[in-house]
Amino acid sequence: MAAERGKSSTSAAAARDRRQAEALRQNLKKRKEQARARADASDASPPDVTCFFHEPSFTATYLVADPASGDAAIIDSVLDYDGASGRTRTTAADQVLAAAKARDLKVVWILETHVHADHLSAAQHLKRATGAPIGIGAGVAVVQKTFRPLFGAWDLIPDGSQFDRLFADGDRAALGRLTIEVAHTPGHTPACVTYRIGDAIFVGDTMFMPDYGSARCDFPDGDPAILYRSARRLLALPAETRMFLCHDYKAPGRDRYVWETSVGAQRETNIHLKDGMGEAQFVALRRARDAQLTMPALILPSVQVNMRAGRFPPPEADGSVHIRIPTDRF
């Protein structure tokens, strides 16, 4: 009898232990969910966004700051480059650095939305000046594999290791008290990403202003059907989400550059991607437009530098640095 009682009280104790362990697990899970909700709520505080528009390449560079901490990110910087002379300057990038300094901001991220094909990135200059890491989408390795043989870039290991951080879809990074959330938004290139910071999204070359439409999809591994799906994903965000573009080319009839719009405005009026535009219609439209476009003036210098995280090809024995232009390849 006594032995029986002992056995049943042991199994009762085991059951109690299990219940307690389960309660602890549930408690921990709830606390994690609450912490995540708090982090998301703090993201509601809008970041300060300043645009620096580089007219020679029609590029919008952004200085994005967390007002609470003073931490900042620079998205899609430009290194001035004169194709005729091969001369580089850091004028545009220095303006961004000066603005950060004047506002006592600490640059903690240098971000690229993609391997740009129309301007050189100033990421290396910014990194030397700030010590901040350079981030890009993890798909950059695909771009490197494609272009390595085309540029004879045999020094380049095509694994993205030239960058400090490779972002996969859904990755998060801190910007002071704000969170940078990364979405893989391919179509223009296979490696394109969008950065969401608070109520703002930096969409790179996906959509352009509502009156201009969308980015071209005729680069290697570009695909209009894939761009359409990336765009629909962005357009599922709240209508009031501020949307910052990487370029503006002034649509016909517009006489000033604009680089900011909203999810709601795009859904209502984007000439390629407003609500109701189907995938097949978009693909046909995009293909027709791409057939008329010439190569960006700086595509050959840009891609070989930008896929190296803004570094130039290695110097020759005498220290001189050369950009390589393949003949009769493109």
Ligand X SMILES: N[C@@H](CCC(=O)N[C@@H](CS)C(=O)NCC(=O)O)C(=O)O
Strand pairing class (106-111; 71-75): parallel
With CB under 6 A as the contact rule, the residue among 215, 235, 243, 305 that binds ligand X is 215
Sequence-ordered list of residues with C-beta below 8 angstroms from that of 79, at least 6 positions apart, any chain: 88, 89, 90, 92, 93, 119, 120, 121, 122, 125, 305, 310
Stretch that binds ligand X, among 127-135, 232-240, 280-288, 291-299 (CB under 6 A): 291-299
297 binds, among ligand X, Fe ion, none (CB under 5 to 8 A by kind): ligand X
Strand pairing class (48-54; 59-65): antiparallel
Min separation Cβ 127 and ligand X, Å: 23
With CB under 5 A as the contact rule, the residue among 43, 66, 181, 205 that binds Fe ion is 205
Under a CB-based contact definition with an 8 Å cutoff, are residues 305 and 121 in contact?
Answer: yes
For 114, the 3-state DSSP assignment is coil
Give 214 or 266: the residue with its C-beta nearer to Fe ion: 214
Min separation Cβ 65 and ligand X, Å: 26
Q: Which helix (H) or strand (E) holds 179?
A: strand 178-184
> What tokens appear for 238 in the block?
């709240």
What residues between 72 and 131 interact with Fe ion by CB under 5 A?
A: none
Min separation Cβ 60 and ligand X, Å: 12
Question: Rounded to whole angstroms, how far apart are CA atoms 321 and 206?
Answer: 33
Question: Rounded to whole angstroms, how far apart are CA atoms 275 and 266?
Answer: 8
Q: How many helices (H) and strands (E) does the chain have?
A: 8, 14
Min separation Cβ 328 and ligand X, Å: 20
Give 225 or 297: the residue with its C-beta nearer to ligand X: 297
216 scored as a contact of ligand X (CB under 6 A)? yes
Question: Rounded to whole angstroms, how far apart are CA atoms 79 and 122?
Answer: 4
What residues between 56 and 75 interact with ligand X by CB under 6 A?
A: 57
Min separation Cβ 78 and ligand X, Å: 12
Complete DSSP assignment for 286-312: HHHHHTTPPPPTTHHHHHHHHTTTTPP
288 scored as a contact of ligand X (CB under 6 A)? no
Min separation Cβ 211 and ligand X, Å: 12
293 binds, among Fe ion, ligand X, none (CB under 5 to 8 A by kind): ligand X
Min separation Cβ 155 and ligand X, Å: 25
What residues between 86 and 145 interact with ligand X by CB under 6 A?
A: 117-118
Single out the residue of 112, 107, 49 nearest to residue 76, CA to CA.
Answer: 112
For 64, the 3-state DSSP assignment is strand
Give 117 or 153: the residue with its C-beta nearer to ligand X: 117
How big is the site for ligand X, counted in residues (CB under 6 A)? 11
180 binds, among Fe ion, ligand X, none (CB under 5 to 8 A by kind): none
Give 130 or 302: the residue with its C-beta nearer to ligand X: 302
Question: Rounded to whole angstroms, how far apart are CA atoms 74 and 76?
Answer: 7
248 scored as a contact of ligand X (CB under 6 A)? no
List interacting residues with ligand X (CB under 6 A).
57, 117-118, 205, 215-216, 247, 249, 293, 296-297
Q: Which residues bind Fe ion (CB under 5 A)?
A: 205
